[in-house]
Structure 1
Amino acid sequence: MMIKVYRKTATIRAEQFDGSQTSLFGYEVMSDSLLDALTGEPAYYSILIDDVESEPDDFPDDNEVSFEIGDWIVKETDEIKVMADKEFKQQYAELPVIPKSVADWIEKCKHDGTSVGDMLCSERRPEKMRDWMALTLGTYEFNQRRYKKHQELIARAWLDGYLTEEDE
């Protein structure tokens, strides 16, 4: 039997805790009583999450999620978990942000059955998309780097999904 390799494809909501947030996903951030010896700031923080399932009376109705500055608080479906920065960056990548005109072109090409390659290279590309992909000012080398970067961004958006600049 051969082992197969899979990647996660679901989108999540996540926020990196920097110590300044007073709430995360609508839950109040509470500081722990343990203080960092060097800074005098709290070493750990937590949020109290209401359980959706009812439990016997001898169990609390809330779950406490504890974290440190730099940790990521991740919300997947109806679960909130904490991940260290390194672990988070190994498992997740931020969705690309593209202009609405580019998003419209991606959706049109998908609808029409156009391939990714044809979508990127087609002479029928909208002018706004061509302008965004290749900056008309600056040196030729800069334009080539920008064009390649934007091609990769659009291909990633096609595969994984995207946010439009208006969504930010």
Structure 2
Amino acid sequence: MIWIIIEFLFPALLIALPLTLYKSNRPLMTKFYLRMTASGSARKLYARCMLILILLYHYVYAGGHFGEWGILASTTFCAILFSFRRADRWLTRLHEERKIFFLTAVLVLTTCAVPHLHTVAVTLAFLLLAAMFYPSRNVLSKWTDEENRIRWMNNPKIVSEYYY
């Protein structure tokens, strides 16, 4: 029973996090925006935490559904994301290009309808969620400008305007 509850908590995160944190000016989120733009190691930690969360979901799902072959496809996809350079490229492209983001969202909805590909759908959905909070190239290039950096540090609430 606990496996089922934990299994339902993961998709609930996909709904709750964007509703509460997307384009938020809360102090926690402004610190998050600043750290993600300022530090490459923060982006690396973010990508690793996303990957760990996805693999944790795979573990929970495999514990309750024996013999599901779809988990192999999504685990292979996660193995590709172990490279930070590749994960960074994918998250940046998903964040910046709306067409790719939309097509991936459609792919999530279609794979969700296939019972054996449920883990693939959840993996792609978590990737979309991670891309929503990932900094764009535009924000990273503005961070290198000294004037923008000082302005953002003095008034961190305006970072969310540039971040999205």
- Normalised by the length of structure 1, the TM-score is 0.20
Bigger fraction of residues in strand: 1
Q: Name which one, 1 or 2, has greater alpha-carbon Rg.
A: 1
Decide which structure has greater helix share.
Answer: 2
